[in-house]
Amino acid sequence: MKVVKIMLCLVALLTFGNVVAQEQPPVLEEQEQPVGAPVKLHRDTLFYIYNPVGSFSKEDRAAAISKRVKELSEERFLQADSVKVVENVLTTDIVYLDRVLMSVTETDAEVAEKPRQELATLYAAKIKESAVKSAEQYSLKSILIEIGLALLVLLVFYVLVKYVNKFFQFIFLKIEEQKDKRLKGLKVKDYEMLTPEREVAVVLTVARFIRLITLFVMVYILLPVLFSIFPWTESYADTLLSYILNPLRNIGMGAINYIPNLLAILVIVVVTHYVVKFIRFLAGEVESGKLEVPGFYRDWAKPTYNIVRFLLYAFMFVVIWPYLPGSDSAVFQGVSVFLGILFSLGSSSAIANMVAGLVLTYMRSFKLGDRIKIGEISGDVIEKTLLVTRVRTIKNEDITIPNAMILNNHTTNFTSCSEHSEKGLVLHTTVTIGYDVPWPKVHQALIDAALAAPNVEKTPQPFVLQTSLDDFYVSYQLNAYTFAANKMAATYSGIHQNIQDKFNEAGIEILSPHYRAQRDGNMVTIPAHYLPEDYQAPSFRVEQVQTAAAVTPSS
């Protein structure tokens, strides 16, 4: 089998060699020599005609001589010895029996720089040799040999196809045996993209496709080999081979010619890669605090690195663009313009959010984990991206806010004050108490309530502000310090519970909003377990006032 394969390869190479040799233009011995018209027999060029004769151009002469030589090669009983050179006064003729095949003039001899007789003898020898060779090729013996060789090639092809099919069947069985062994499926983290069965099916599909391609290539090689056996179909073999070899040759030459551009692209990519790597190192040093730049915050390191990296890669692509194959073609330019229009029309809001994300990064208004309030939304920042910010509320709701909306609203950061201030965040709440209660008593009850609440700092001590004197009550604002900004809701709830308890213990009633009641004869609003055991609701007091005019003496 190896011998047969080697024979097929040799036949293909020889055929390709003939094609390449025939495609090469004739090389003139001297640059001053004029271009000649070829005299051909089938595909073989015998010699060239350089001069016209009378009204016949050199092309007409070459065509007429080619026709006569072809008729000579098709003679049933060719007598090669009958091709002779006959000397005349003005020309030297090459004749066969009684037919003149061509005439060599003195001008032809001058161009060839040879005597007329010698040049005619040379031409006659070439005509005789080619005619005999052509006659032999078209003889019955040659045809039978060629048919036998074609049958041998078909037999070899049949055997090759048979063994190729067996080889691929063996490959298919081996692939199926690898199920749950090497072909265990494909997983990306916890997602199973391909089960073992699907992976086996994919590999089998690829193997079957390779089998079809192999058989197609074998058939395509078989056809030129068969066509090259017979003289009358040899041109088809050259054509079929040229369909494959010419593109391959063009691709190879294109790849060789593209090597300088490829080297330039590699240099640009390598330089950009190491520059980005160096900038990433600097960003890491700044972020870790090992490298300090005045006026540059550590949390700016990563976003700045991402921006610089994007700009460097964009600049790299702009520089590489002229070196890309087909970058100057109209199709390439049209596609790039189309993509640019789509990007500009469909990404205006996205670009606005990206710009807002960059501005928010350098504004440093909040960071991950901070408790913030944006408009009516309060919660902890759980994610910051270039387009959106995600906030988780105290009700465990995840809210996605576009960065452009955040930039257009005011943002309250509760965490930054508690982290960067020595005193912490100030929590405040307001109660309204009537004028009948002394203000020092109210102050002390509020401070005691704050100190008893969780997450409230003892130092500095809570304080109370009287914010207004209204018609029916005084507004007291309790202020307390805390460092637990993310526990504000629980802290406020504890403060409010303690205010109720401390006020009840101090005998202070919270009668706001407006509370109307007849105090005499009614229980106070303080819960019963805060009152003394012998407490009784006061009774109504009625006083009668008598005047002197109303008293009359009895008669």
Q: What is the DSSP string of 370-418?
A: -EEEETTEEEEEEEE-SSEEEEE-TTS-EEEEEHHHHHTS-EEEHHHHH
As a whole-number percent, the residues of the chain with pLDDT over 70 amount to 83
CATH, residue 395: 2.30.30.60
Task: Tally Cβ neighbours within 10 Å of residue 229.
Answer: 19
Evaluate whether 204 touches 179 at the Cβ level (below 8 Å): no
Residue at 261 is within a domain: no
Would you place residue 130 in the very low, low, confident or very high pLDDT band (cuts 50, 70, 90)?
confident
| Nearest by Cα to 421 from 463, 366, 483, 370 | 483
Residue at 2 is within a domain: no
Q: Are residues 333 and 287 part of one domain?
A: yes
User: Higher-confidence residue: 425 or 131?
Assistant: 425
Task: Look at residue 471 and give its three-state secondary structure.
Answer: coil
Q: Are residues 446 and 409 part of one domain?
A: no
The number of folded domains in the chain is: 4
What is the pLDDT at residue 1? 38
Least confident of 66-75, 146-155, 314-323: 66-75
| Nearest by Cα to 510 from 518, 502, 519 | 502
Helix (H) or strand (E) holding 53: none
Structure tokens at 256: 């060789």
Q: Are residues 385 and 324 part of one domain?
A: no
What is the pLDDT at residue 159? 95
Residue at 146 is within a domain: no
Mean pLDDT calculated for residue range 334-353: 70
Mean pLDDT calculated for residue range 131-139: 73
Would you place residue 346 in the very low, low, confident or very high pLDDT band (cuts 50, 70, 90)?
low
Residue at 494 is within a domain: yes
Range of the domain at 432: 421-530
What is the pLDDT at residue 511? 73
Give the C-alpha distances (Å, rounded to integers) separating 424 from 381, 476, 483, 488.
Answer: 19, 21, 5, 12
What is the pLDDT at residue 273? 94
pTM above 0.75, yes or no: no
Q: Are residues 437 and 396 part of one domain?
A: no
Evaluate whether 134 touches 41 at the Cβ level (below 8 Å): yes
What pLDDT, in 10s, does the model give residues 14-54?
444 444 444 444 444 444 556 888 998 877 888 999 989 88
Long-range contacts of 199-205 (CB under 8 A, 24+ apart): 200/175, 200/176, 203/175, 204/172, 204/175, 204/176
Residue 220 pLDDT greater than 70, yes or no: yes
Q: What does the angle CA 510 – CA 514 – CA 519 come to, to the nearest 5 degrees?
A: 70
Which is it for the CA torsion 359, 408, 382, 414, positive or negative? positive
